[in-house]
Amino acid sequence: MSADAVQFRDVSFTYRGDWLQRIRALERVDLRVPAGSAFGYLGANGAGKSTSIKLLVGLLQGHLGEIRLFGDAIGAPRLRARLGYLPEQPFFYENLGVGEYLRYLGKLSGLSGSALDQACDRVYGLLDLGDLRERRLGSFSKGMRQRFGLAQAILHSPDLLLLDEPFSGLDPLWRARFKDIMAGERRRGATLLFSTHILSDVEDLCDHFAVIDHGVVLEQGRLADLLGSAPLALTASGPRPENAVDLGDGSWRLVFPEHERERRLAESLAAGASIVRLERQRIALEDHFVAKVREFHAAGSRLGGSSAERPS
Amino acid sequence: MILVIAGATCREAVRSRAFLGLLVIFVCGILLARLVGAISATDGNIVTTDLVFSLQSLIGVLVAVATGTALVHTEVRQHTLYTVLSRPMARWRFVLGKYLGLAAALALGQIAMLATGLAWLWATGAELHGWLLIGGLLTIVEVLVMAAVSLCWTALSSPLLAAVLGLATWAAGHAVSSLPGLIHHLDGCKQQAAIVLASLVPDLGRFAYRNDAVHRTPIEAVDLALAFAYGSLWIALLVAITVAVYRRKQL
């Protein structure tokens, strides 16, 4: 089995609009989602997150490059048996009831008999849909549709959950509940890939992340590595180094990158400083994201590139 | 899997208000038909029967064009097909299942109209006979062919244009049967062109037995079997074209 649940290699995709209109949505994307991970796919609206997910699901075709799911090239319908997909702003047939709709989708996923009954009961319990099973989906609010959307995505216990803006339209209680369910799915062994532009969701749930903008992946990797790369803050008293900030109570504070740790500590101690504490500053993912995207836009402006043709 | 999709499509269609609304319109129509029959100068029962069967055909075709053009397009526009196509299933199964579900719903609607129409004719004293039933069944085949025509046009164009083209195909399909009488007036090249153009649309005149049925004009068993086979072949061809288009479509 491949160590990666999802692999994009040099993937580009262009939407064909009316007549000769062409919209480049992805530009030479390389992406790796390790199996078993929780992967946050970050980007602004229109950045290319949904396009990437739709390519994985097979709703879009005609990409350049290679896309692999659990080591196999996408295309074969049987691969999709391992996927659970929650589309962005999901809609469902209005005149079908919750119960019959779930059974319908369960059958399409290959479930039948008691396995289907058990799967339905499981998601009724997880998403409080049991009392609504006779109700038609046409009467559902946005948040309720989202709940049904997650229910159908996890119904068949997929190996890979693709969730496109899963928290959209949810109240705070259900946001927390969704996070619990997603964490539970991960404990079961599923890989999570979800797109969002809400960065706190990524911090809460993910161990891997990627940032995409204008169809270009700007950064990807382990969230722990990103957070671990935050600068260190040394608080001490005694002789104050040149760049340190005076805290007013006789102590001072000096911020420096990880690779200067040994040298700075040695210099401070040699100068006779008394160390109060050494701590890692917290990276605000939001600030990091905004900085990355701005940096990308600035590089694009300097080169005069258009949207997805900007360099990464 | 195809039948699972067909079942859900059929249930969704027959529960829609539009579907029930059209049945109500049909009932109002046949009540009016009796009124027209009563004031007609000729045999009132014949006129009423003729109107009831024409109404079944007209409403059937309009519903087929409207629902056929909306069938997959609505799924694409509302993204309802995302949760279906993300499952282990080839697109051709989805399109075929959708068509079969629509066909089942249309057939149910047509049978309901036929049964209501026949019951009304019986209740009002009109004479019932087996030819009427055959006329009604051939109308159902015509409606199913028109549903496939509309589905195919939607795959190739926008829903509005598809509806216009669907109705144009219906008009052309009924004109095709009169082509043999006209073709002798054309010279070589035009004659060939007319034959080619006529072969591009289904000859819907093959299913228009209802007027003959009202007048008890018999239809040969072979002609009946050929009409069913002809309709099935056109449906298969049109659904195959639709499948080929949707196979590569960006959703």
Alpha carbon distances (Å) from A100 to A28, A87, A119, A135, A159: 42, 20, 13, 10, 24
- Residues A206 and A260 grouped into a single domain: no
The set of residues, in sequence order, having a beta carbon less than 8 Å from that of B14 and lying 6+ positions away, is B105, B108, B109
- Residues A139 and A160 grouped into a single domain: yes
Of chain B, the percentage scoring pLDDT greater than 90 comes to 32
- Distance CA(B214)–CA(A291), nearest Å, equals 79
Residue A69 DSSP code: E
Q: Where is average pLDDT lowest: A100-104, B3-7, B42-46, B126-130?
A: B42-46
- Residues A103 and A244 grouped into a single domain: no
Residues A23 and B51 sit within 8 Å (Cβ to Cβ): no
- Residues A206 and A243 grouped into a single domain: no
When pLDDT is cut at 50, 70 and 90, the band that residue B99 belongs to is very high
Which token pair is B181?
A: 């009488």
Total Cβ atoms within 10 A of residue A175: 19
Residues A149 and A164 sit within 8 Å (Cβ to Cβ): no
The set of residues, in sequence order, having a beta carbon less than 8 Å from that of B203 and lying 6+ positions away, is B173, B176, B177, B230
**Kind and range of the H or E run holding A43:** none
For residues B192-212, give the mean pLDDT.
Answer: 83
Per-residue model confidence (pLDDT) at position A19: 72
Domain count, chain B: 1
The set of residues, in sequence order, having a beta carbon less than 8 Å from that of B149 and lying 6+ positions away, is B65, B68, B166, B169, B170, B202, B238
* More reliable by pLDDT, B52 or B241: B241
Count of CA atoms in the C-beta half-sphere (13 A) of A307: 12
When pLDDT is cut at 50, 70 and 90, the band that residue A301 belongs to is low
Residue A20 DSSP code: T
Calculate how close chain B gets to A36, using CA atoms only, in Å: 20
Residue A281 DSSP code: P
- Distance CA(B165)–CA(B84), nearest Å, equals 29
Residue A277 phi/psi, 5° resolution? Answer: -160, 160
Q: Hey, of A61, A74, A95, which one would you mutate to test binding to chain B, going by the most B CBs within 10 A of its CB?
A: A95
Q: Hey, of B72, B74, B82, which one would you mutate to test binding to chain A, going by the most A CBs within 10 A of its CB?
A: B82
- Distance CA(B202)–CA(B235), nearest Å, equals 10
Residue B157 DSSP code: S
Asked whether residue A197 is assigned to any structural domain, the reply reads yes
- Residues A193 and A242 grouped into a single domain: no
Domain region containing A244: 231-280
The CA-based dihedral angle spanning residues B218, B201, B170, B75, taken in that order and rounded to the nearest 10 degrees: 120
Q: Is the pLDDT of residue A307 over 50?
A: no
C-beta atoms of B82 and A58 within 8 A: no
When pLDDT is cut at 50, 70 and 90, the band that residue B117 belongs to is confident
- Which residues of A are less than 8 Å from B85 in CB distance? 57-59
Helix (H, G, I), strand (E, B) or coil at A110: coil
- Residues A265 and A191 grouped into a single domain: no
Which amino acid belongs to residue B226? L
- Residues A247 and A176 grouped into a single domain: no
pLDDT tens readout for residues A205-218: 899 999 998 899 98
Q: Kindly tell me the burial class for residue A209, based on how many C-beta atoms sit within 10 Å of its own C-beta (0-12, 13-18, 19 or more).
A: buried
Q: For B4, which of A60, A91, A108 is closest by C-beta distance?
A: A108
- Residues A98 and A26 grouped into a single domain: yes
Per-residue model confidence (pLDDT) at position A2: 57
- Residues A93 and A133 grouped into a single domain: yes
Alpha carbon distances (Å) from A234 to A246, A262, A279: 12, 12, 7
Residue of B nearest to A156 (CA): B87
Last residue of a domain, one of A218, A240, A272: A218
- Which residues of A are less than 8 Å from B250 in CB distance? 15-16, 59-62
Per-residue model confidence (pLDDT) at position A8: 94
Q: Is the pLDDT of residue A1 over 60?
A: no
Asked whether residue A294 is assigned to any structural domain, the reply reads no
- Distance CA(B33)–CA(B47), nearest Å, equals 8
Asked whether residue A286 is assigned to any structural domain, the reply reads no
Angle at A121 between CA A115 and CA A127, to 5 degrees: 135
C-beta atoms of B1 and A108 within 8 A: yes
Beta strand A160-164 with A83-86: parallel, antiparallel or unpaired?
Answer: parallel
C-beta atoms of B88 and A110 within 8 A: yes
- Distance CA(B182)–CA(B199), nearest Å, equals 15
* More reliable by pLDDT, A51 or B49: A51
pLDDT tens readout for residues A223-266: 888 777 778 889 999 888 888 888 888 899 998 888 888 888 89
- Residues A59 and A193 grouped into a single domain: yes
Domain region containing B141: 2-247
Which among B142, B101, B72, B84 is positioned nearest to B13, based on CA atoms?
Answer: B101
Which among A136, B10, A112 is positioned nearest to A120, based on CA atoms?
Answer: A112
* CATH code of the domain in which A147 resides: 3.40.50.300
Per-residue model confidence (pLDDT) at position B139: 92
Which among A275, A189, A286 is positioned nearest to A234, based on CA atoms?
Answer: A275
Q: Where is average pLDDT lowest: A269-273, B15-19, B113-117?
A: B15-19
Domain count, chain A: 2
Asked whether residue A129 is assigned to any structural domain, the reply reads yes
pLDDT tens readout for residues B138-173: 999 999 999 999 999 988 888 889 999 999 999 988
C-beta atoms of B250 and A91 within 8 A: no
- Residues A116 and A201 grouped into a single domain: yes
- Which residues of A are less than 8 Å from B5 in CB distance? 108
Mean pLDDT of chain B: 86
The set of residues, in sequence order, having a beta carbon less than 8 Å from that of B134 and lying 6+ positions away, is B209, B213, B219, B224
B3 touches A: beta carbon within 8 Å: no
C-beta atoms of B15 and A95 within 8 A: yes
Q: Is the pLDDT of residue A131 over 80?
A: yes
The CA-based dihedral angle spanning residues B194, B195, B199, B205, taken in that order and rounded to the nearest 10 degrees: 80
Straight-line distance from the first to the last Cα atom of chain B, in angstroms, rounded to the nearest whole number: 21
C-beta atoms of A107 and B11 within 8 A: no
* More reliable by pLDDT, B183 or A264: A264
Helix (H, G, I), strand (E, B) or coil at A18: coil
Last residue of a domain, one of A218, A251, A266: A218
C-alpha A184, offset from chain centre: 16
Per-residue model confidence (pLDDT) at position B211: 79
Mean pLDDT of chain A: 87
Asked whether residue A24 is assigned to any structural domain, the reply reads yes
* More reliable by pLDDT, B37 or A122: A122
* More reliable by pLDDT, A286 or B133: B133
Asked whether residue A308 is assigned to any structural domain, the reply reads no
Residue B197 DSSP code: H
Per-residue model confidence (pLDDT) at position B241: 94
Which token pair is B107?
A: 């057939």
pLDDT tens readout for residues A28-67: 999 999 999 999 998 888 889 999 999 999 889 889 999 9
- Distance CA(A74)–CA(B39), nearest Å, equals 68
Q: For A77, which of B8, B83, B90 is closest by C-beta distance?
A: B90
How many helices, marked H, and strands, marked E, lie in chain A?
9, 14
Rg (CA), chain A: 24
Q: For A81, which of B88, B250, B251 is closest by C-beta distance?
A: B88
Asked whether residue A288 is assigned to any structural domain, the reply reads no
* More reliable by pLDDT, A289 or A1: A289
Alpha carbon distances (Å) from B140 to A216, B64, B133, B207, B242: 53, 10, 11, 9, 21
C-beta atoms of B86 and A57 within 8 A: yes
- Residues A123 and A151 grouped into a single domain: yes
Q: Is the pLDDT of residue A147 over 60?
A: yes
When pLDDT is cut at 50, 70 and 90, the band that residue B111 belongs to is very high
C-beta atoms of A93 and B5 within 8 A: no
Asked whether residue A306 is assigned to any structural domain, the reply reads no
pLDDT tens readout for residues A65-98: 999 999 999 888 888 999 999 998 888 888 889 9
Q: Is the pLDDT of residue A311 over 70?
A: no
C-beta atoms of B251 and A110 within 8 A: no
